[in-house]
Chain A
Amino acid sequence: MPDFEPVLLARVNKPDSTSLESYRADGGYAALKKALGMAPADVVAAVKDSVLRGRGGAGFPAGLKWTFLPKDHSGPIYLCVNADESEPGTFNNRILMEEDPHQLIEGIAIACHAIRSNTAYIYLRYEYGRSYRVLEAAIKECYAAGLLGKNILGAGFNLDVYLHRGAAAYICGEETGLIESLEGKRAWPRIKPPFPAIEGLFRKPTIVNNVETLCCVTHIINRGAAWFKSIGVPPDPANPRDLGSFGPKLYCISGHVNKPGCVELPLGVTARQLIEEHGGGVWKGRRAKAVVPGGISMGFLTADELDTPLDFNGPLKAGCLGLGTAAVVVVDDQTSMVDVLYNCCRFMSHESCGQCTPCREGTKWMTRILERIRAGHGKLEDLDTLLEVAGSMGIIPGTTICGLSDGAAWPVKNAINKFRAEFEDYITTGRRAVTPAQELMAAAH
């Protein structure tokens, strides 16, 4: 795809990319103007036609979600912009907010018009200080220019946007945890139903969308659903549930690569292409042992699975939980999977909100087993215990209140199933594996 031209990141390296003036000079807020000239239902239809799938991790079609709002609702409807971006390896929202805040605000305004909301909350990860300052300035500019507030662009549409900083917890990114947190409570995800579209923030109908999802909306209005669907991958006929993976996507590349960063590509690029063509290859001349396809909660691809296309369907076929946030983390062949997995488990047990028994206890238990293995006291049965715990924590579809539990179970399932020989070797010899797992596997056969 050499001729793909970035859309979402198009303005990123321009000088003064964050100012309203430069955004307008590049044609900014034309989409809003166009949308305000359309009936809200037509905006929803356009987004629905584009099959824009949520970029926050679950891949739920945005337009479809918007249609779940009650019809003829007379009270307030809210939009919550999920900018809590905390999935390890993920930093694309940050770039969008720091470099091109007006693209997001325009998307927010269009979405609010579509869902008939007059209030949007941006729930921002606390650590994103620069995003906070940039967004704050951009929102101010918008109010001054009549792009937010009352009677926007003279079209009779009112919208207030509030920027809210979270207090730094992964669980605040789960949409109902986010809503609870916004309401000033502990971010304990809610049981569903009711889903937020029926009863969300302050018990009113609410749509939660990711930053990148909303940025895409701007371009869909500008260029049309057909344009959006001309990018990416059509539905896999072998998977009747696959809706296709259309549009551009921001991929994050980090870990053991020469050139970590964030690139915009059509959905469907393979992990290998990302590493080789965009990440500058694995560092220090080493090889990749494992690759996280979309944030650690999605699990691992092995070196043999690097040609997996990173669209909404590809990682599933390789036994991963999904595309997640499309944040690729590369693990080189000198790194122990035991250490990698320990790190994943430690994170999840630290971030579990603690409501559900399996997640609260299971994440901690797995962490402690791995701690013991790393301390040289592992037993081979531990691997079965880990798999069993992961199995009861993460049965898809999940048996816990939110998806964190599944996301905590998946790296364990993948790591032990795909790298079992390395774990066994570690336990029996006490050696930190510095040999590529593939060779160990071959030796075991």
Chain B
Amino acid sequence: MPTAFVNNQEIELKEGERLNCIQAAQRIGFEIPHYCWHPALSVVASCRMCLVEVGERKPDGTVVMQPKLVPGCQTPVKEGTVVVADSPKVKAAQQATLEYLLLNHPLDCPTCDQAGECGLQDYSYKYGRGYSRLQEPKNIKPDKDHIGDQITLFTDRCIMCTRCVRFTREYSGTSELQVVARGSDEEIDVFPGRPCNNLLAGNVVDLCPVGALCSKDFLYKQRVWWLKEARSVCPNCSTGCSIQVEQNDDRVYRLKPRTNPMSQGHFMCDEGRFGWKYIHVENRLTFPVRRKNGQIRTRDWDDVIPSLQKALAKAAARAPEKCAAIFSPWMTCEEAYMLASFLRSLSPKFRLALGPVRVTGQDDTYPKDFYGRPLEPVRFTIHAEKCPNHRGVSMVLEHFGAAATMGDVLAQAEAGLEAVYAVGGDPQGWLDEAQAAALAKAQLTVVQDILPSPLSEQADYVLTGGSFAERDGTFVNYKGLAQEIHRAIRSPDGARPDGRILWELSGRRGLYSVAAIRKEMAEKVPAFSALAQGVLGEFGVLLNEHGAPEPSVVAAAK
């Protein structure tokens, strides 16, 4: 196995592996500071933050170092490569580069959104000299609010790493961002009338290592050190981007993509990034409801759950073939599994159907050219299927031998149903007035949802569930990648995570545990057998048709 050396420590390289010095140093947990380099973008080696000493160890053990410092991002590490990233020469270069970058930097950290997660702050602290020798007034450049609908530019904070420019050239392909002027007069800008509004635009804010590009949505809302993160998965389409939900005091402030080579890579789209606002709307369903003859009888879980248990059992005993449930592709696998096994325990004839799977337009691929035409090779896809777990819920339903659709249930509703249990969850709505009226004709109508719908106005039972940010569970994306979502915030008022509702409804004892359900599901449902460990890790587990993990992909991601 090829061996290289970083700061006198040996690292092993896999055959054919292509690492630069920054990546090689990461292997021993050593950070070579860098700005312009990003694993998803082309190498420009222009910021000169990552300068290191590089040499070669000959087979006879002698080491020959190159006389000059080289950019670690541009320099490949091969058999026998020797990287020195902590010598006085390297440190002097780092100090010099940081001093240059800070010369005209406004140092307005107290009012800068990036403070706390800023590459300039962090590196200055670690590698800088602590004071500036610039005696001239700083070069102030005008802020640019016109960069995009979601993006604003604090021009004087920019360090000209060009990550943002390369992203719009190489990833979205739309090339809105440009460098204008030359030398120290350079600025980032857009062409007049062509703002940066592509659906991947929000990523440039994450890519910007400093507080130059800021999100208008997040601007001045929070100091980042107050935010707590939870690992999750974007629910807005079947791509299933790995994300983190960032919250403070039960309020979500932003979503950020989480790098996952098995899922979407490094980025996320703006539909997902800004698509969470419904979590905090005024009219969220909060307390549960039990109605009798159209009148609200109680809004208390301690009453609603036992009384619903009885009502469902009664209906299933009376006419099981006239009992139906509609599952939502917004449910987690565990929720779907709990509901399905509960209802089938009441009667094996309980009819289980998949609810509407919202599809909008076509899969939207990137990069695109200047005119919006898609280009090959595709680097990012926003799927047309606008729900997170169509695949996972279908796997559960298949296991229970359920093949019905919502249309089948509606048709049966016209003929008269004993009981219907409908799960919603799509924030854009999932049934119209007529469909609601049809379902409401059933003797017993139960709806589990987060937002008001025509059905929640008249159902006998309304179970008030949680949004994706309030739940734990598993989503399976379009290609079979099972990933965990984690609860980031508590549900508002009387709303409860759906898993807990179903745990109690199905009469399970103790506190709701998603890991316990996941294990049980993996045991009972062969398609999920790969999830038997109960935890899916940072990147998730890719399920093939038979539910076993796809080993090649798992290995590649490591």
Contacts and interface: CB of A to CB of B under 8 A. Distances in A.
Interface of A: 169, 186, 191, 349-358, 360-365, 368-369, 371-372, 379, 385, 392, 395, 397-401
Contacts of A364: 139, 183-184
Given A186-B179, A361-B104, A356 B46 contact: yes
B69 A399 contact: yes
A372 B101 CA distance: 21
B93 A399 contact: yes
B248 interface: no
Contacts of A349: 183-184
A387 to B, nearest CB: 12
Interface in B176-192: 179, 182-186
Nearest to B73: A191
Contact of B100 (A357, A371, A372, A397): A357
Nearest to B179: A186
- Ranked 6 nearest A-B pairs via Cβ: A361-B100, A364-B184, A392-B96, A352-B183, A355-B46, A354-B186
Contact of A358 (B96, B159, B183): B96
B403 interface: no
Counting chain B CB atoms within 10 Å of each CB, the highest count among A350, A352, A354, A385 belongs to A354
Contacts of B133: 385
Contact of A399 (B48, B162, B185): B48
B210 interface: no
Contacts of B401: none
Given A354-B179, A358-B97, 13 more contacts: A349-B184, A354-B160, A356-B46, A356-B48, A357-B159, A360-B160, A360-B183, A361-B100, A361-B103, A365-B100, A365-B103, A369-B136, A399-B48
Contacts of A399: 48, 51, 68-70, 93
Interface string B23-54: 00000000000000000000111111101000
A357 B49 contact: yes
A353 B182 contact: yes
Contacts, number: 89
Contacts of B74: 191
A354 B159 CA distance: 11
B49 A355 contact: no
Nearest to B186: A354
Given A362-B100, A365-B100, A398-B68, A357 B184 contact: no
A357 B182 contact: no
Interface in B526-541: none
Counting chain B CB atoms within 10 Å of each CB, the highest count among A186, A191, A369, A371 belongs to A191
Contacts of A354: 160, 179, 182-186
B553 interface: no
A60 B320 CA distance: 90
B168 to A, nearest CB: 15
B497 to A, nearest CB: 49
Given A364-B184, A399-B69, A357 B44 contact: no
B183 A357 contact: no
Given A349-B184, A352-B183, A397 B67 contact: yes
A191 B45 contact: yes
A353 B69 CA distance: 21
A352 B69 contact: no
Contacts of B134: 365
Given A354-B179, A397-B67, A399-B48, A361 B93 contact: no
Contacts of A401: 45-46
A362 B139 CA distance: 13
Contacts of B48: 356-358, 399-400
B283 interface: no
B293 interface: no
A383 to B, nearest CB: 12
Contacts of B183: 349-354, 360, 363-364
B135 A397 contact: no
A406 to B, nearest CB: 11
A358 B100 contact: yes
Nearest to A378: B135
Contacts of A385: 133
Contact of A357 (B70, B101, B179): B101
Contacts of B70: 399
Counting chain B CB atoms within 10 Å of each CB, the highest count among A191, A350, A357, A392 belongs to A357
A349 B47 CA distance: 17
Interface string B355-368: 00000000000000
Contacts of A365: 100, 103, 134
A392 B94 CA distance: 10
A368 B44 CA distance: 28
Contacts of B46: 355-357, 401
A358 B99 CA distance: 9
B169 to A, nearest CB: 11
Nearest to B49: A357
Contacts of A371: 136
A353 B159 CA distance: 14
B93 A169 contact: no
Nearest to B92: A392
Given A350-B183, A358-B100, A191 B136 contact: no
Given A191-B44, A392-B96, A363 B184 contact: yes
A157 B79 CA distance: 45
A427 to B, nearest CB: 13
Contacts of B162: 355
B69 A395 contact: yes
Interface in B78-124: 92-93, 96-97, 100-101, 103-104
A268 B264 CA distance: 63
A369 B171 CA distance: 41
A395 B185 CA distance: 24
B56 to A, nearest CB: 16
Given A354-B160, A365-B134, A392 B184 contact: no
B182 A352 contact: yes
Nearest to A405: B48
Counting chain A CB atoms within 10 Å of each CB, the highest count among B51, B133, B139, B162 belongs to B133
A203 to B, nearest CB: 13
29 contacts: A169-B182, A191-B45, A349-B183, A350-B182, A352-B184, A353-B182, A354-B160, A354-B183, A354-B186, A355-B160, A356-B47, A357-B46, A357-B47, A357-B97, A357-B101, A361-B101, A361-B104, A364-B184, A365-B100, A369-B136, A372-B135, A372-B136, A392-B92, A395-B69, A397-B68, A399-B51, A399-B93, A400-B48, A401-B45
Nearest to A381: B133
Nearest to B162: A355
Counting chain A CB atoms within 10 Å of each CB, the highest count among B133, B134, B162, B184 belongs to B184
Contacts of A186: 179
Contacts of B103: 361, 365
Contacts of B160: 354-355, 357, 360
Nearest to B70: A399
A71 B537 CA distance: 50
Contacts of A368: 136
B100 to A, nearest CB: 4
B36 to A, nearest CB: 9
Contacts of A392: 92-93, 96
Contacts of A191: 43-45, 71, 74
A369 B134 CA distance: 8
A415 B74 CA distance: 34
Nearest to B45: A191
A395 B68 contact: yes
A364 B69 CA distance: 23
A361 B92 CA distance: 17
Contacts of A379: 135
Nearest to B187: A354
